[in-house]
Amino acid sequence: MNPYLTLALASLYYTLYYLLIWPLLQLYNGLLAILTPISNALRFLLLPLTTLAHSLIRALLYPFGLIPNFETLYIYLGIASILGLSAGLVLALSYGLFVRLFKLDVPSEEQDPRPAARTAKEYREARQRKKKELADPILAYGYGELRTGTGSELERGRQGRGGVLGEPILEVVGYEEEDDVEW
């Protein structure tokens, strides 16, 4: 490089530095000297708040520090969910295919799942018939059936009606006197 050009650039640099940049640096250092005690006093006064803020931030970020400990579990559960979803999807699709293939979704006309609707007249007649049966003490116990036989035969017949609600809680098997009652 030309020595004259180097000398000219160096003199231009130092001239600009001392005319523009050096006064700005001196102003900055002066302000810093004035504001440093004020900023130190503010830091000292706000130290409890900054400590509290740091503690809260650490407490909020603590669970994220535990994530690497659960990485294996996360991978295991992720793979298990992917396998479960894919197996469920395959089963659902194959089930749908078999249902359509063998025509299992078509309801048969012979078997109607809903009972035939009764008319109001049939309902009233059935209700009157039930009231007559309940009014007769002999027919009321069996709801219209004539009961004969031993206690075990009666129990077998009673199992088919009403489940647990159709059975008495306590039943007297047989008695001649009050002292000989078996419960």
pTM above 0.85, yes or no: no
More confident residue, 151 or 91: 91
Overall number of domains in the chain: 2
DSSP 140-180: HTTTT----S-HHHHHHHHTTSSGGGGS-SS-----SSGGG
Per-residue pLDDT band for 13 (boundaries 50, 70, 90) equals: confident
Residue 96 has phi, psi (to 5 degrees) of: -60, -40
Residue 75 included in any domain: yes
Main-chain phi, psi angles of 13, to 5 degrees = -60, -50
- Same domain? For 127 and 153 the reply is yes
Exposure letters 85-107 (e unless 16+ CB within 10 A, then b): eeeeeeeeeeeeeeeeeeeeeee
pLDDT, tens digit (0-9, with 9 covering 90-100), for 74-121? 899 999 999 999 999 999 999 999 999 988 887 665 555 566 677 888
79: containing domain: 69-101
CA–CA separation, 16 and 24 (whole Å): 12
Q: Is residue 113 part of a domain?
A: no
